[in-house]
Amino acid sequence: MPSANRSDLEIRSLTKRFADFVAVDDVSFTVPDGSFFSILGPSGCGKTTLMRMIAGFLREDSGDIFVAGRSIAGLAPNHRPVSMIFQHLALFPMMSVGENIAYGLKRRRVAKAEIAARVTTMLDRVGLPGAADKRIDQLSGGQKQRVAIARSLVLEPDLLLLDEPLGALDLKLREHMKVELKELQAEIGTTFVYITHDQSEALVMSDKVAVMNAGRFEQIGTPRELYYEPATAFVAGFVGNSNGWSGTVETIADGTARIVTDTGLGLAATAMGPLAAGAAVRVFVRPEAIHLALDEDEVAGLDNRFTGRVERVLFDGANSSVLVANPGWAEPVTVLLPQTSRFRGLDAGTQVRLGWDAGQAKCFGARS
């Protein structure tokens, strides 16, 4: 039985350099048994390098990798209790669906009858009963996805690595597969480590998400923590949509900073971490935290109040937003369009009021 502190994946100060470039820089984390863990970061942040080291396709320069309490550093990929779902799935086109799933079992010299039984069970489990004799090119995108997962899971790995496998799917199917993957993971209980640059995939599916940037983890937390309590400026800007300004702290009192932006705008925001007067900061406000109003008195009680002109309405159903421009701002501010009849006729050119509390705006010390 797993002990209390057992985790399926533990990474200890893993580092990988390519010539002068540090792709993964002293990264440490643990993934609890049976959880869905995502590594979220922009392309080039080192997440693929990290995953390839866990899978065994790249050798780490230093650090160690433990799976189920055992170090796997130095093992060849075919001897690791880890399986990987590739970005383009890498199903073997010269084999049928059943042969694809049976491939790993054959390598383990499992008896023929048992292979057949396990392939059938696995296909039922991923919702493709009777597909064993189909060719790979007869499958739809979503079906291929399931075959790839079945091919890995039939080996009962301690850990399943997924390298942006939803990237190639169209939007509708991707939304569907997100839910399906999450359900599948909850059902079978295998630890999933999912890497993606798509924040929505990470937020929807994961128990915990690590935000990676320039070879380091910026923050590890639940999707809610990352969204509502970002620890760094990068996380605040990368996870979810945000309006951002660069500026300097003028005064600071009770955790609320008065900031003057580079364009000369005065803002009140909550200081995240210790900040002193004169410090360079980044300020972030979520589009849904901004109160959009037509009259001045509607926003009267709020700490930050501005007047602007609607530049463009970006209609997207419930996710519709408005770009509001002000001569004092470098870029227009994105505000979520309230779903009320008052704003239904909102058009470009309309004068509007914007307001938000200092508690809704977060400022972070800018990295020099």
User: For another protein, which residue of 76, 113, 253, 318 counts as binding (CB under 8 A)?
Assistant: 76
Examine residue 88 and tell whether it contacts another protein (CB under 8 A). yes
Smallest distance, another protein to C-beta of residue 90, A: 4
Examine residue 47 and tell whether it contacts another protein (CB under 8 A). no
Binding flags for another protein, 176-215, as an x/- string (CB under 8 A)? ----------------------------------------
What does the alpha-carbon distance between residue 261 and residue 356 come to, in Å, rounded to a whole number? 16
Compare residues 169 and 302 and give the one whose CB is closer to another protein.
169
Compare residues 134 and 258 and give the one whose CB is closer to another protein.
134
Strands 62-67 vs 7-18: parallel, antiparallel or unpaired: antiparallel
- Only segment of 43-51, 99-107, 278-286, 308-316 that touches another protein (CB under 8 A): 99-107
Smallest distance, another protein to C-beta of residue 346, A: 48
CA-wise closest residue to 48 among 192, 200, 162: 162
Examine residue 276 and tell whether it contacts another protein (CB under 8 A). no
Examine residue 77 and tell whether it contacts another protein (CB under 8 A). yes
Examine residue 96 and tell whether it contacts another protein (CB under 8 A). no
Smallest distance, another protein to C-beta of residue 109, A: 10
Residue 117, phi then psi, degrees to nearest 5: -65, -45
Compare residues 57 and 315 and give the one whose CB is closer to another protein.
57
- Only segment of 31-39, 91-99, 209-217, 241-249 that touches another protein (CB under 8 A): 91-99
- Cα 26-29-32 angle, rounded to 5 deg: 165
Query: What is the end-to-end Cα distance of the chain in Å, rounded?
Result: 48
Tell me, what DSSP letter sits at residue 96?
A: B
List residues bridging with 70 in a β-sheet.
67
- Only segment of 101-109, 125-133, 206-214, 261-269 that touches another protein (CB under 8 A): 101-109
User: For another protein, which residue of 11, 45, 55, 322 counts as binding (CB under 8 A)?
Assistant: 55
Examine residue 43 and tell whether it contacts another protein (CB under 8 A). no
User: For another protein, which residue of 6, 59, 70, 107 counts as binding (CB under 8 A)?
Assistant: 107
Smallest distance, another protein to C-beta of residue 155, A: 7
Burial of 49 (0-12, 13-18, 19+ CB in 10 A): buried
What does the alpha-carbon distance between residue 23 and residue 310 come to, in Å, rounded to a whole number? 42
Smallest distance, another protein to C-beta of residue 84, A: 5
What does the alpha-carbon distance between residue 256 and residue 275 come to, in Å, rounded to a whole number? 10
CA-wise closest residue to 60 among 76, 46, 74, 80: 74
Which residues lie below 8 Å from residue 51, measured CB to CB, with a gap of 6+?
39, 84, 161, 163, 193, 195
User: For another protein, which residue of 83, 196, 206, 219 counts as binding (CB under 8 A)?
Assistant: 83
Examine residue 318 and tell whether it contacts another protein (CB under 8 A). no
Percentages (nearest 5) of helix, strand, coil residues in the chain: 30, 35, 35
Compare residues 93 and 327 and give the one whose CB is closer to another protein.
93
Q: How far is CA 63 from the centre of its chain?
A: 24
What does the alpha-carbon distance between residue 324 and residue 349 come to, in Å, rounded to a whole number? 9
Residues in contact with another protein by CB under 8 A are: 55-57, 76-78, 82-84, 86-88, 90, 92-95, 103-104, 107-108, 151-152, 155
